[in-house]
A = this chain, B = another copy of it.
Amino acid sequence: MNFCSHCGAPVSLRIPVGDSLPRHVCDRCGTVHYQNPKLVIGALPEWQDRILLCRRAIEPRYGFWTLPAGFMENAETTAEAAARETLEEACARVEIGDLFSLINVPHISQVHLVYRARLIDLEFAPGAETLEVALFAEKDIPWDAIAFRSIAMTLQYFYGDRRSGGYRLHVGDVVVGTRTPPE
Contacts and interface: CB of A to CB of B under 8 A. Distances in A.
A88 B79 CA distance: 31
Nearest to A169: B169
A34 to B, nearest CB: 7
- Main SS class of interface, A: loop
A8 interface: yes
Contacts of A74: 35-37, 109
Contacts of A77: 104, 106, 173, 181
A3 B4 contact: yes
A107 interface: yes
Interface string A159-183: 0000000000101010000000110
Nearest to A172: B77
Interface in A45-84: 71-80
27 contacts: A1-B5, A2-B8, A3-B3, A3-B5, A3-B7, A5-B11, A5-B33, A8-B8, A8-B10, A21-B73, A36-B72, A36-B74, A37-B39, A37-B73, A37-B74, A39-B39, A39-B111, A72-B111, A73-B182, A75-B109, A77-B104, A77-B173, A78-B171, A79-B104, A79-B171, A80-B106, A99-B102
